[in-house]
Amino acid sequence: MLLLRLAETSAAVAATGSRKAKGELLASVLADLEPDEIEPTVGFLIGAPRQGALGVGWATVSRVEVIPASEASLVVGDLDRLLTAISRTSGPGSATARTRLLNDFLAKATEAEHDLVRRILIGDLRQGALAGVLTDALAKASGVTQKLLRRAVMLQGDLGRTAVIALTEGAEGLERVDLEVGRPIQPMLASTAADVSEAIEALGPVQVEWKLDGARIQVHVRRDAVAVYTRNLNDVTARLPQVVELARSLPCDDAVLDGEVVGFFGDYPGLDPIQDDNDGDTDRPRPFQETMSAFGTETDASPAPEGGRLRPFFFDLMFLDGESLIDRPLAERSDALADLVGRHGIPRITTDRVDEGERHLADALDAGHEGVMVKAVDGPYEAGRRGKSWRKVKPVHTLDLVVLAAEWGHGRRQGWLSNLHLGARDPDGDGFVMVGKTFKGLTDELLAWQTERFLELKTHESTTGHTVYIAPELVVEIALDGAQTSTRYAGGVALRFARVKGYRPDRSPETADTLDAVRALL
């Protein structure tokens, strides 16, 4: 397929606000792709090339000055090969080499193709075709049901590879896709409830479990082979030797577990700190940012981080000894999990009584944790979805939002990008909608880090140069007192007393909270 057709379709998708129209445009392109074009094209259309991070920012793209070609000659595969070449270019002189590759490519590209390539490179596609819209279009193009396709996507863990199956093998191929040990799946996410009472009223009999403020992990065990993945499906096995050691000791042939790793102030070899009865704060969890710092540096050869190693705790079991459990009720999965991991499970109770649930919440807060998760006992594991059968309850409202821009600071913050522009995900899949600003909760360390990072992600500046707009790649956890109606922002809602809890490198923009989640706080 000519790259020009992809560029023109992308522009047309960006120009319409209709989800249905976007889907029809995308379905038309998907249906005409050759098999080897499907996976790269899906990556292009959702602004997530299969090559991953390319090391190309606005500075590199802005240096390219070539006259667009008058006729189209490039095909989709040409762009895929360019991005592969760029991703493999590293070391001294790599910036110059990337610029040369880009110059040579764009010399053959039309004006419309120029725009598409530049936007893909800097993560600024902004056509409103996030994964949800493209998944619907893929179902239409392949003639399969959305339910079947979405299930295959969650089990395959990759929309591009699933698209290849859907468009080449149809429903029969998708039905063969199942949970496979060693291939990470998208984790199930939770909706929000105001309190335990609201959650139990909505779900009936529930399990109430402590909500830890750690780093999400997915552990795959196959006899002696262990792999550990993050929430974003990145392989971090080498960083978590203690998790690998524990996983190898489990009494099973193979398993897939969902859990968290958490740092603690105390270090109790052989003792479970989450339920320890020692006095004082030695058994209390460290802040999330400290957990992530240890998570990012720990290796087999490293000493334990100050205050103890990261500790794994598990709350779900999706596969055990040759059998997928994702369609089993939570109660069954929990029983099997308890037998498998013992004291490495997160404390939980089963109840339909609000007072018991609230006591369990109080216990979690007293132990220094975030709150509780309230889960329907009959619910399946809905991988890749923010399911209604899981509700998170925290005493302070928090939202995962995406940074859209930042303003240069004044006074003591002169020279730092400070005031954040915060965006919630549009529930219709049309990018991100601004819902507020904040400069509160930022330490000097965070200000320095985000200034450097924002300039790497810069797409453009305001005419005054006061505001720097960035590619929507960074998720930040925001604490707030609630929301209020507002005509200032396009979503008609604004955050109240928002402050930064911390950046969440373990979370992706596609899993950020939606505008509906903000409106629910009105």
Residues carrying an active site annotation: 211
Residues in Cβ contact with 226 at an 8 Å cutoff, skipping those fewer than 6 apart: 219, 220, 237, 243, 244, 247, 248
| The CA-based dihedral angle spanning residues 444, 445, 447, 453, taken in that order and rounded to the nearest 10 degrees | 170
Q: How far apart are CA 9 and CA 29, in angstroms?
A: 8
Q: How far apart are CA 377 and CA 268, in angstroms?
A: 33
**If you ran DSSP here, which 8-state letter would residue 273 be given?**
G
**Whole-number Cα distances in Å, 495 to 369, 408, 522:** 24, 21, 9
DSSP string, 369-430: --EEEEEETT----TTSEEEEEEEE-SSEEEEEEEEEEEEB-GGGBTSEEEEEEEEEPTTSS
Which amino acid is it at 295? F
Q: Count Cβ atoms below 10 Å from residue 201 Cβ, excluding itself.
A: 11
Measured between its terminal Cα atoms, the distance across the chain in Å is 47
Residues in Cβ contact with 382 at an 8 Å cutoff, skipping those fewer than 6 apart: 154, 188, 389
What is the largest distance, in Å, between two alpha-carbon atoms of the chain?
75
Helical (H) or strand (E) element with 216: strand 215-222
Q: Is 168 left (phi over 0), alpha (psi -120 to 50) or beta?
A: alpha
Q: Residue 518 in contact with residue 483, Cβ under 8 Å?
A: yes
Q: Residue 236 in contact with residue 228, Cβ under 8 Å?
A: yes
Strand partners, 228: 219
223-229 long-range Cβ contacts below 8 angstroms, 24+ apart: 223/253, 223/254, 224/248, 225/182, 227/182, 227/184, 229/184
Q: Residue 164 in contact with residue 466, Cβ under 8 Å?
A: no
